[in-house]
A and B are shown apart, each in its own frame.
Chain A
């Protein structure tokens, strides 16, 4: 054995669930985006679906720019739901629900909805596709949401809000 036990200990602390589930999942997330890009030239993000779908029910001028892409964005999102459902059936063995309080999900959701659209992207558009294309705008966006998310989560935890 030539593995360094110190390295293993550090890894066990930083990665209590190991890394394979994260690495394999991340590669698949990237593969999904890559399949669409190679076939269509579209660099897909998940948050534009919110605005493009709102264009069906709202006449606000802001949403009309997404009319041309709104149908395939619904298909993309349905694919995400179904792909996750396949995982749930095959590996998870049934439904899983979160313990995070409903008001955190709701308030957080509203802020996510405002923020991703004002900030031109989310964890997939900026984080996966934008960083993948070395876009300086996306790297700045990722840093902005990563830092504020860490600060927010630490404050929420320090205030003793669980779960």
Chain B
């Protein structure tokens, strides 16, 4: 993704908004925006949530396969359709584990938390505040360590 803010297509922001609307409606429709439903899944009382993740992955998978074959470049950015590969390292497992403990304790993940606010769940502000606090803490900590160790940090 090059600098997008300068020569952006006028429909770029409207399309992102449309995608977000569908995404959030889907999270609410699936009830994944309710922490109780996620906790029921994690406690093996309702496996329906598997359909949310794999249903979503199936649709994105088709778009990842077809878009580069049908279009040469993305119409609104001119970017090529590349797989955005994240490098694998210990952080993926350590961070995933920390995320998992938080997810299992609260039943909330980022996308579902934003959607939860949309369905009127004001209590979710506790989780949203916590997420920003957590993201800030890791950013502060990693900014300190990268300053102390000037090795080139791989952007994820």
- A residues near B (Cβ < 8 Å) are 14-19, 21-44, 46-47, 49-51, 53-54, 58, 60-63, 65, 68-69, 71-72, 75-88, 91-92, 94-100, 102-124, 126-138, 140-154, 156-157, 163
Contact = CB atoms under 8 A, between A and B. Distances in A.
Given A32-B19, A65-B155, A129-B60, A105 B118 contact: no
Given A32-B19, A76-B20, 18 more contacts: A24-B30, A28-B23, A32-B26, A42-B1, A62-B143, A68-B1, A80-B20, A87-B29, A102-B123, A109-B127, A110-B133, A111-B130, A131-B61, A137-B87, A141-B93, A144-B99, A152-B104, A153-B107
Contacts of A86: 21, 25, 28
A42 B13 CA distance: 12
A15 to B, nearest CB: 5
Interface of B: 1, 3-5, 11-13, 15-36, 39, 42-64, 67, 71, 73-77, 79-88, 91-124, 126-140, 142-143, 146-147, 155-156
B114 A39 contact: no
Contacts of B155: 65
Contacts of A107: 102, 105-106, 130
A78 B118 CA distance: 9
Contact of A120 (B64, B95, B101): B95
